[in-house]
Structure 1
Amino acid sequence: MARRCYSDAPITGDQATLDGNEAHHLLHVLRATPGMAVTLFDGSGQEFDAEVVACKRSTVELAILESRLVDRELPQPLVLGVALPKGDRQRWIVEKSVELGVTRIVPLVTERSEKQGGDKLGRYVIEASKQCGRNRLMEIAEPMRWSDWLTASDLLDEGTPTHRRWVAHPTGVRPTAAEFAQQLPTLLAIGPEGGLSDGEVEAATAAGWKAVGLGERILRIETAALGLAACLTIPQP
């Protein structure tokens, strides 16, 4: 299988040039040489069969041999609002969300959350997309305050039909298999370490959000986020 690489510039012709992290990986990790087969993607939804034609000091030039539209996205958007934890757990949530097909992550600022956002999140998205085969990049939105998240009208595309809004909570009702199987645009909210405050939960339910859970045990941020996302995105037999 050809190595997958990401081009941050749109690929429109019969040639492409990689620089930065992608060129460094090809040159110094994969030891690219002319003739090496590479699969490129640029976030547009297309895949490009390419071949290395020249390796320079900090760039790699490739010839585009063929392009095709390959859709590996979910049938309906899933937007995950999550109070991201610190360190490697943050990276883990982003990577696995990409693998599960999450459309967008919105870092949430709550009463008990850590500092949200960071320059590395976008790189985590690219690396996970290369691994799992997605040709569109999961979006990392700007951090949003809890009160704004609950009432935001632009989290899904304009004109999106009926959708569901779920907030994870230990006392929430476990969704049925039929509810998980419904293919609806979904907003899913996960609180911080220590949980959402009573006031934040009350504000959510007052705004029409449904409190949901996955059982009797208290789950960490990443377990709740990815457990619910997996139930919504992995087809049930």
Structure 2
Amino acid sequence: MQQIFWPDSLRGQTHLTLAGNEFQHLIKVLRLKINDRFWIVDHEKQTYQAQIQSVGRQDFTVQLVPQLRIHSELPNSVKIACALSKKDKVEWITQKATELGVTEIIFFKSHYAVKKWDSAQVSKKVTRLQQIALHAAQQSWRLQVPQVRYAASLAQVLATAAADYRLVAYEEAAKNNEQAQLAQICQQMQPQQSLLAFFGPEGGFTVEEINQMRQNGCIVCGLGPRILRAETAPLYFLSAVSYQTELSKDF
């Protein structure tokens, strides 16, 4: 069943009229008809089944029925900060990280980053990535759309991205077979606490960048004994966090 997000609260409403992008996507592209149903998630993360009642030339009306659904968000707020990579990798990270439950995605300029964004490009690129996150959140039945943003430097990320725990995935830690830090932090985290993890570009982080992160409360960790690509590491990390915080719990 299709899902869309609604920017306002729908609490207490029984009917809703939709137009614009929703009309184009659901009626024109997907060809939904009267009596067809889809999900709406409002900004309070409340879920509704919407049944189409009437279809006009440019809008359509639905009946709203509040209906609880399995909670699909990670128990903790998990953010990733990724050094800029090539265009397809940045888009891949955004889409897949959204499917894996990330709360916020920050792309930033680092020393060895192959790709650079001109200041005039930033707004357009972030808007494009935010749309990718929106579509991925709809497809994966998320209850929220992660925020995508850009930082001009590592220092800016460290100054603006708050979290209860900070990690940096470092290839030297992987080479030394460091295996404990990520698992320990996932076990220590309490519900509603947040975690931020940093990932380098294709060329990795410099020693100076690692020291800068350490000085700002980041714990260096490995992601297993293998050296992962720039686009693989954040997805491995999110999968590991999901397992530790969701799937490995006793029921």
- Does 2:128 correspond to 1:123? no
Counting only pairs closer than 5 Å after superposition, residues 1-237 of structure 1 correspond to structure 2 as 2-12=1-11, 13-68=13-68, 71-113=71-113, 114=115, 115=117, 117-152=125-160, 155-156=162-163, 163-172=164-173, 174-176=178-180, 178-179=183-184, 181-184=186-189, 185-234=194-243, 235-236=247-248
What amino acid maps onto 1:34 in structure 2?
Answer: I
Are the counterparts in 1 of residues 179 and 224 from structure 2 also a CA contact under 8 Å? Answer: no
Judging changes above 3 Å, is the alpha-carbon distance between structure 1 residues 84 and 53 closer, same or farther for their aligned structure 2 residues?
Answer: farther
Are the counterparts in 1 of residues 80 and 196 from structure 2 also a CA contact under 8 Å? Answer: yes
Cα distance, 1:183 vs. partner? Answer: 5.0
- Mapped to 2, the partners of 1:91 and 1:135 lie a distance apart of 21
Cα distance, 1:80 vs. partner? Answer: 0.8
What amino acid maps onto 1:188 in structure 2?
Answer: A
- Determine helix, strand or coil for the equivalent of 2:142: coil
- Mapped to 1, the partners of 2:226 and 2:57 lie a distance apart of 54
User: Please, which moves more after superposition, 61-70 or 28-37?
Assistant: 61-70
Residue ranges of structure 2 left out of the alignment (5+ in a row): none
Are the counterparts in 2 of residues 48 and 64 from structure 1 also a CA contact under 8 Å? Answer: yes
Cα distance, 1:64 vs. partner? Answer: 0.9
Cα distance, 1:167 vs. partner? Answer: 0.6
- Determine helix, strand or coil for the equivalent of 1:82: strand
Cα distance, 1:133 vs. partner? Answer: 1.4
Are the counterparts in 2 of residues 6 and 22 from structure 1 also a CA contact under 8 Å? Answer: no
What amino acid maps onto 1:64 in structure 2?
Answer: L
Are the counterparts in 2 of residues 170 and 216 from structure 1 also a CA contact under 8 Å? Answer: no
- Determine helix, strand or coil for the equivalent of 1:27: helix
Are the counterparts in 2 of residues 43 and 137 from structure 1 also a CA contact under 8 Å? Answer: no
What amino acid maps onto 1:146 in structure 2?
Answer: L
Identity of aligned residues (%): 26
Cα distance, 1:155 vs. partner? Answer: 2.1
- Mapped to 2, the partners of 1:96 and 1:183 lie a distance apart of 26
Judging changes above 3 Å, is the alpha-carbon distance between structure 1 residues 122 and 60 closer, same or farther for their aligned structure 2 residues?
Answer: farther
1:56-112 residue CA offsets vs partner (Å, 9 max, x unmatched) = 333332111234475322222111111242333222211221222111112222223
TM, length-normalised to structure 1: 0.84
- Mapped to 1, the partners of 2:72 and 2:227 lie a distance apart of 32
What amino acid maps onto 1:3 in structure 2?
Answer: Q
Judging changes above 3 Å, is the alpha-carbon distance between structure 1 residues 232 and 5 closer, same or farther for their aligned structure 2 residues?
Answer: same
What amino acid maps onto 2:204 in structure 1?
Answer: G
- Mapped to 2, the partners of 1:118 and 1:190 lie a distance apart of 18
Are the counterparts in 2 of residues 79 and 155 from structure 1 also a CA contact under 8 Å? Answer: no
- Mapped to 2, the partners of 1:17 and 1:83 lie a distance apart of 41
- Mapped to 2, the partners of 1:213 and 1:124 lie a distance apart of 29
What amino acid maps onto 1:26 in structure 2?
Answer: L
TM, length-normalised to structure 2: 0.80
Are the counterparts in 1 of residues 15 and 64 from structure 2 also a CA contact under 8 Å? Answer: yes
CA RMSD, Structure 1 to Structure 2 (Å): 2.4
Judging changes above 3 Å, is the alpha-carbon distance between structure 1 residues 15 and 88 closer, same or farther for their aligned structure 2 residues?
Answer: farther
